[in-house]
Structure 1
Amino acid sequence: MEPLRIGVIGCEIARMRYHAALVATPQLRVTAVTDPDPRLARIWARQIGGRPTVCADTLDLLDQPLDAVLITTPLALRAQAIADALRADLPVLAEVPFALHLADMDDLLVLASRSDRLLMPALPRRFDPSFRKLHQLVQENALGTPEQLRCTWGLPQETDLPSGDSISGGWNAHWQFLACQSLDLCFWWQGEGFAVSADMEMAQLIGTPHPRGKKAQADALAILLVTHPHGRSIHQFMRTLSVRPEERYFLTGSHGNAELIAGVGASTATNLPLPYLTLQRVGEHASRVSVDLTPEERALSPSAIRIRRLLQHFAACVRRQEEPEIGPHTARVALDAVHAAYVSACEQNKVSLPLRRFPDIAALLCRFQGVRKALPKGMG
């Protein structure tokens, strides 16, 4: 079977997150690329191989003979690129969040429904073997009723950040991307939330520089508390001085708990095989839970494995060999909770889900320009 011809809109993020997985996915072949920076598009076209066409802009790319589109543009341009691809009658795999505003997000969902075209959010952790194994444990009631999930993200100060202004790029865009991933997992394991409380360092999210002479230090970006039908989830995002990202999940149930370490950070032994999943039932010792990998996957990084599996599922859905496991509603629910976190942090109260009004995130952030809001004691 011939590989699907895929066009990539936005080469900066695609090169960083998708390159290794695309090279290892024979079901897809990149045949056209475009980027707001033509130089980035030319460089990545040479690196990805296959001599893809370097297009002048999104509309030029959509005129090429394509079977599907991967959209990884900067956040400010993403909604328009998704809309253009759907109007061109092409299946779309897109980075999350889809848009800066919930109103634009809803317009995309209506457009996808009317065009009857696949619009799939890029949530690769749902396809990671270890994350799926943990989901299986939850579904099989191995932990009992899920009561609390704690998600910890340690982000190196030197993280490569998306381009754009202080609202649509930098730490703010990167945090929204990570928060969508983290919140989607808690909804997957615990059911959709119905309230969000948050403390956020708005000045840090919009890149306010440290006072002159002050050295970079570990900072808390955000802490989210989400209430679910059975318990709650806590999401903590930190900027750290470590050179390695940390990503950990600790799920407590009525009959036991499970811990999944996806990134080692500075506090975990570097020789730990990742991801590392352990299960401890009440009255028993903790034991490691193994997962199966294919021979091809053993040569890839955990990130490349999960993205490769996402790409394989997307290709199978485009060919109508599989039904989509995730759709645009999944991305909508996660973004609703992200925006609720901004509102909660500004109004300093709990916010119910779904939101009844669409907040202007840019306006909320600008209110905190240059103002550093301290997190409560014991939460940093």
Structure 2
Amino acid sequence: MTKLKIGVIGCGSIAKFRHLREYANNGQVEIIAVCDIVEDRVNEFAKEYEATAYTSYEELLTNQDIDAVSVCTPNYLHAPVSIAALKAGKHVLCEKPMATSRADGEAMIAAAKEANKKLMIAHNQRFVPSHQKARQLIENGEVGKIYSFRTAFGHGGPEGWSVDGADSWFFRKEEAFIGAMGDLGVHKTDLLRYILGEDFVEVGAFVETSAKAKTDVDDTAVCILKSESGIIGTLAASWSYVAKEDNSTIIYGEKAILRLEDDPTASLIIQYKTGEVVKYELGGIQSNEIGGQTSSKVIDHFVSCILEDTEPAISGEEGLKSLQVVLSALESSETKKITSL
């Protein structure tokens, strides 16, 4: 069998703990190229994965053998690198948030169409078993009409996870563009759109920098979201949860309450109106705690979409809709008004 030949652009923590590791565990691919502007870092990964090291992504993209790339760079480079890769005839898996503006996101989608290549955004929350089960329960009417939700994604901040610690690009606005809302909040806007099966039409938000002294990006945000059918709820994204990561979502419905990733052992708890409680142990959510890594299933899905020529679950269009909620939240925070999407 001919293996899919992969290049990874950007060798920070997300590449180290997710992309490279998961490609290496997939028998249908071969990592043949890695790229990072830090020479020692890229040489280390090149040696580990028996790949060619590049310090220029433009040079990597001239390698005709590469079928697909992962874009694991700082946020401001997501769009330019992805577009260059698509124009070079490579399929692209891009980290979230897909871009730093709507225009850049649209340009990525257009480049993928023009090149007839796959563009997938690495939102892993759709692949979490409890989230998939919740969507199924809502779809088949078991929860009844959905009234409300609350979701949170918070931890102590990128310094505990990023390869550069407190000096990480995550804290620099010119490279990150957006802080906790781009790092964590966009995961939840994508998750909610997936679970509820609806888009959001209005957003109000408070976006602050309160926990991190040396940064000009947000570290704590709380949003109020309203969906097409009138479901309202809150989303919190924060780098100020100092003790334990929170990645929980609660859905309030007519017949039941769904508690997702809210309990240490039961990843989904259904509390029915009748008083009955059902607990599911479906396996844990991927954690940012190093050593607590499980497969995100993102890589395997991307690879199968290329090999089977199917549309990725999180296409560029889906990624852009989830990004747009975040961009609207920023606008709401700046204007002190509810923003319509």
Instruction: Work out whether the TM-score is over 0.5.
Output: yes
- Write the distance in 2 (CA, Å) between the matches of 1:164 and 1:233: 27
Q: SS in structure 2 opposite 1:247?
A: coil
1:238 deviation in Å? 3.1
Structure 1 partner of 2:280: 289
1:108 deviation in Å? 1.4
* Residue-by-residue CA offset, 1:3-41 (whole Å, 9 max, x unaligned): 311100111131143344233222222110001222221
> Identity percentage over the alignment?
23
- Write the distance in 2 (CA, Å) between the matches of 1:45 and 1:133: 39
What stretches of structure 1 move > 6 A for 4+ residues in a row?
none
Larger radius of gyration: 1
Give 5+ residue unaligned stretches, structure 1: 210-218, 263-267, 294-299, 354-380
Greater Cα offset, 236-245 or 69-78: 236-245
* Residue-by-residue CA offset, 1:291-339 (whole Å, 9 max, x unaligned): 389xxxxxx987532x2x2211111111125442221011111111111
The answer on 1:31 being equivalent to 2:32 is: yes
The answer on 1:56 being equivalent to 2:55 is: yes
- Write the distance in 1 (CA, Å) between the matches of 2:241 and 2:183: 21
Structure 2 partner of 1:178: 184
The answer on 1:192 being equivalent to 2:199 is: yes
- Write the distance in 1 (CA, Å) between the matches of 2:215 and 2:312: 41
Structure 1 pair 57–178 and aligned structure 2 pair: CA distance change class (3 A): same
Structure 2 partner of 1:213: none
Q: How does 1:361-376 map to 2 (within 5 A)?
A: none
* Residue-by-residue CA offset, 1:196-244 (whole Å, 9 max, x unaligned): 00011046679449xxxxxxxxx97000111012411310123345343
Contact residue 27 and residue 312 of structure 1 kept, 8 A? no
The answer on 1:21 being equivalent to 2:22 is: yes
The answer on 1:163 being equivalent to 2:169 is: yes
Q: SS in structure 2 opposite 1:172?
A: coil
Q: How does 1:257-276 map to 2 (within 5 A)?
A: 257-261=257-261, 272-273=264-265, 276=267
- Write the distance in 2 (CA, Å) between the matches of 1:125 and 1:193: 18
Q: SS in structure 2 opposite 1:227?
A: strand
Structure 2 partner of 1:351: 339
- Write the distance in 1 (CA, Å) between the matches of 2:212 and 2:101: 17
Structure 2 partner of 1:248: 248
Structure 1 partner of 2:294: 304
Q: SS in structure 2 opposite 1:287?
A: strand
Structure 2 partner of 1:376: none
Give 5+ residue unaligned stretches, structure 2: 163-167, 285-289
1:97 deviation in Å? 1.5
Contact residue 94 and residue 122 of structure 1 kept, 8 A? yes
One-letter identity of the residue aligned with 1:245: E
Q: SS in structure 2 opposite 1:334?
A: helix
* Residue-by-residue CA offset, 1:46-74 (whole Å, 9 max, x unaligned): 34x3x010013112211221121111111
- Write the distance in 1 (CA, Å) between the matches of 2:325 and 2:212: 17
Structure 1 partner of 2:165: none
Q: SS in structure 2 opposite 1:326?
A: coil
* Residue-by-residue CA offset, 1:84-123 (whole Å, 9 max, x unaligned): 1100111111111222222122111112122221101111
Contact residue 75 and residue 176 of structure 2 kept, 8 A? no
Q: SS in structure 2 opposite 1:319?
A: helix
* Residue-by-residue CA offset, 1:348-374 (whole Å, 9 max, x unaligned): 110000xxxxxxxxxxxxxxxxxxxxx
Cα RMSD (Å): 2.6
One-letter identity of the residue aligned with 2:334: C
Q: SS in structure 2 opposite 1:258?
A: strand
Structure 1 pair 232–241 and aligned structure 2 pair: CA distance change class (3 A): closer
One-letter identity of the residue aligned with 1:325: A
Structure 1 pair 208–66 and aligned structure 2 pair: CA distance change class (3 A): closer
Structure 1 pair 99–321 and aligned structure 2 pair: CA distance change class (3 A): closer
- Write the distance in 1 (CA, Å) between the matches of 2:91 and 2:258: 36
One-letter identity of the residue aligned with 1:195: E
Q: How does 1:98-247 map to 2 (within 5 A)?
A: 98-157=98-157, 158-161=159-162, 162-163=168-169, 166-169=172-175, 172-190=178-196, 191-202=198-209, 207-208=214-215, 221-228=220-227, 229-240=229-240, 242-247=242-247
Contact residue 172 and residue 206 of structure 1 kept, 8 A? no
1:282 deviation in Å? 0.9
